[in-house]
């Protein structure tokens, strides 16, 4: 992976909707933590920045089993902010291109490789699978042109990639940052976001098909 890119892995949130009582990065997926799956995909990524908040020490301990060189960034206001703020914090001292990756997202390994090799800015999206999805629309050029809670062609799952100077401070979501820079190239991926127990069950089925 080019040294002009960084991955910002957002693991600061509480994950209250899932009801596990722990951050989603540490949830068990087929006998191992969710974040361990992600770190396996990122083993060749040189600059990996993990934004932590809730249960930060537990997340750090788990990550260090796999990546002693990961950089940890603290979102100390994780209770009042969303992933957009974590993206902003993680990108501040990162490389020119910053790939945002949610800590509750599983992406098919072949599609992970496709995203990591993409040389420019992008927004990834999938077929609708989640219970509480943000939708997005694309144009005939394959560019993402809008986000919506009520309608759209695809599910906005992330990841995405922006130049660092475009990642502006927000207390909101990553898509609130992206909306200011549309249209952006879209890439269709196979992915499963985990927000609810039903999503969790779908994630187990998703992995079983790899």
Over 90: is that where the pLDDT of 14 sits? no
Question: What is the reported pLDDT for 2?
Answer: 46
Q: Residue 134's domain spans which residues?
A: 5-208
Residue 201: CB partners within 8 Å, gap ≥ 6?
A: none
Cα–Cα distance, 149 to 32 (Å, whole number): 32
> Tens digit of pLDDT for each residue in 95-142?
999 999 999 999 999 999 999 999 999 999 999 887 678 999 999 999
Over 80: is that where the pLDDT of 16 sits? no
Question: What is the reported pLDDT for 1?
Answer: 44
Give per-residue burial for 65-104: e unless 16+ CB within 10 Å, then b.
Answer: eebeebebbebeebeebbbbbbbbbbbeebbebbbbbbbb
> Tens digit of pLDDT for each residue in 62-97?
999 999 999 999 999 999 999 999 999 999 999 999
Over 70: is that where the pLDDT of 20 sits? no
Place of tokens 């209250």: 16
> Tens digit of pLDDT for each residue in 158-194?
899 999 999 999 999 999 999 999 999 999 999 998 8
Provide the domain count of the chain: 1
Q: Which CATH number goes with the domain that contains 18?
A: 3.90.550.10
Cα–Cα distance, 111 to 122 (Å, whole number): 13
In the beta sheet, which residues pair with residue 135? Answer: 148, 155
> Is there a contact between 154 and 126 (Cβ–Cβ < 8 Å)?
yes
> Tens digit of pLDDT for each residue in 152-165?
989 999 899 999 99
Question: What is the reported pLDDT for 112?
Answer: 97
Q: What is the mean pLDDT of residues 39-59?
A: 96
Cα–Cα distance, 184 to 178 (Å, whole number): 8
């Amino acid at each position: 992976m080019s040294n002009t890119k960084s991955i910002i892995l957002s693991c600061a949130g509480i994950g209250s909707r899932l009801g596990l009582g722990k951050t989603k990065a540490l949830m068990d997926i087929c006998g191992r933590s969710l974040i361990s799956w992600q770190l396996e995909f990122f083993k060749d990524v040189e600059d990996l920045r993990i934004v932590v908040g809730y249960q930060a020490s537990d997340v750090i301990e788990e990550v260090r089993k796999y990546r002693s060189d990961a950089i940890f960034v603290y979102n100390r206001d994780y209770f009042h902010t969303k992933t957009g703020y974590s993206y902003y914090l993680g990108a501040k001292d990162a490389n020119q291109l910053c790939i945002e990756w949610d800590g509750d997202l599983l992406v098919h390994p072949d599609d992970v490789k496709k995203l990591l090799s993409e040389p420019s800015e992008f927004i990834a999206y999938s077929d609708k699978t989640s219970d509480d999805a943000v939708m997005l629309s694309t144009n005939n050029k394959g560019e993402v042109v809008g986000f919506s809670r009520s309608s759209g062609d695809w599910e906005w799952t992330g990841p995405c990639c922006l130049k660092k100077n475009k990642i502006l401070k927000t207390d909101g979501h990553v898509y609130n940052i992206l909306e200011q820079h549309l249209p952006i190239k879209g890439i269709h991926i196979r992915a499963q976001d985990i927000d609810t127990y039903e999503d969790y069950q779908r994630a187990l089925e998703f992995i079983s098909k790899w």
